[in-house]
Structures are given as C-alpha cells and as structure tokens.
C-alpha cells in the first residue's frame, strides 16, 4: 500500500510540474502577443520591451536537426541525425516533424522570436527563443490520444542570418530521459 501511495505522490508532483510549465509558457506567449498590459506588471513590461525590439521574420522552410547530446554515458547511442522538415511563417509561427533522438517520430509547433545582436545586413547574428511543444518523447503531458505525451519547451537559439539562408544553433534542455542537447538547423528563407 505504501508503494502505491508513493507512486501516486510522484504522479501528482510530475503533473504539477507540467501544469506550471504550461502556465509559464502561456504567460510568456501572451506577454509577447500584447494580450496582457505591460503597465500592470514590471515583468510583463520587460517582455513587452523585448517584443517591440524583435526582428521581423520571413517565410522559411526548415531542415531537420543535427544534434549533439551532452552526456558522458556511452551506453545509449542517440540518433544525432534527426531528419525532418518544417516551416515558419512571417509571424514567427513554426511547425514541423522529424525522426527524434530516441528513434521515434516527433512533431513540433511553436512561436519563434529573434533579436539582432550585430553584423551587417548580408550576415548578421541574432539571439532568439522558440516557445512551443514537441511530441514523441516519454513522460510528456498526455492530451487526447497523443502517444508518449507532449513536452513544452523554451528553446534559446543563436541564428546566423543571411539573405535567403539561416543557420541556427539551438539549446534543448533535458526532457524526460533525453539529456540536454545542442542542435543545428538550416532554414531557407523567402
């Protein structure tokens, strides 16, 4: 009976963590969209200022990912050539699919924001963030019949932008049994 109660407590804690991630992601997305009023809150004011300074984005077709898992344990060989395809709209909305690190198919959707750091127009470096979710990994939020659940994510990135081409280096925090990862992605902008 004690084991059963312990398992129930662990499930409640895991669900609370997922709910908190969902609430935080929604609040950040709302603050960027302007649906909340910045004058009501200093934190929202900060995000509102960030929103006003973001760079406009173009339509883009995105590749899958080349990834490097930051783990010293060689006992599990992760798939580091994550073939796939995606797209991004001028508003920063992005979606796609790929064959993930634990050899399952994943789909993702989110919103990307970028801020110019430096460089001339023909080759400039941007800092960015993608707020979204991805399926295909273990222990995610179970919604409807989604197998393996959905993980919510805040993904920081550095993007080298040139006319018609972008190269992104994305940091992916640890999710369930997958370690933190650095991923590279190419995008053709038009």
Question: What does pLDDT average to over the chain?
Answer: 80
What pLDDT sits at residue 72? 73
User: Is pLDDT of 32 > 70?
Assistant: no
Beta strands 93-99 and 150-162 are unpaired
What pLDDT sits at residue 12? 44
Q: What is the CA radius of gyration of the chain?
A: 18
Q: Sorting pLDDT into bands at 50, 70 and 90, what band is 30? A: low
Q: Sorting pLDDT into bands at 50, 70 and 90, what band is 11? A: very low
Better-predicted residue by pLDDT, 92 or 21: 92
What pLDDT sits at residue 185? 98
Overall average pLDDT of the 147-151 stretch: 71
pTM passes above 0.85: no
The pair of structure tokens assigned to 1 is 């009976």
Angle at alpha carbon of residue 168, lines to 78 and 166, rounded to 5°: 135
**In the CATH hierarchy, which fold is given to the domain comprising 54-189?**
Porin (2.40.160)
User: Domain-by-domain residue ranges, the chain?
Assistant: 2-52, 54-189
Overall average pLDDT of the 143-152 stretch: 67
> Rounded distance, CA 110 to CA 132, Å?
4
Overall average pLDDT of the 174-178 stretch: 74
β-strand partners of 93: 111
The pair of structure tokens assigned to 162 is 């040139």
Q: Residue for token digits 């959707």?
A: 109
What pLDDT sits at residue 178? 78
CA 102, chain centre distance (Å): 17
């Amino acid at each position: 009976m004690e084991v059963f109660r312990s398992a129930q407590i662990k499930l409640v804690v895991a669900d609370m963590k997922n709910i908190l991630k969902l609430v935080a992601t929604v609040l950040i997305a709302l603050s960027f969209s302007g649906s909340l009023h910045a004058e009501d809150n200093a934190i929202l004011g900060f995000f509102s200022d960030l929103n006003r300074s973001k760079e406009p984005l173009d339509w883009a077709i995105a590749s899958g990912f080349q990834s490097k898992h930051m783990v010293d344990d060689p006992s599990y060989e992760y798939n580091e050539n994550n073939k796939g395809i995606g797209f991004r709209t001028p508003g920063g909305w992005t979606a796609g699919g790929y064959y993930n690190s634990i050899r399952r198919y994943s789909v993702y959707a989110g919103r990307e924001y970028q801020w110019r750091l430096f460089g001339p127009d023909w080759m400039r470096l941007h800092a960015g963030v993608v707020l979204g979710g991805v399926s295909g990994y273990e222990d995610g939020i179970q919604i409807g019949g989604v197998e393996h659940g959905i993980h919510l994510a805040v993904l920081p990135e550095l993007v080298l932008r040139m006319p018609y081409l972008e190269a992104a280096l994305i940091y992916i925090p640890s999710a369930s049994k997958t370690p933190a990862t650095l991923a590279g992605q190419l995008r053709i902008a038009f």
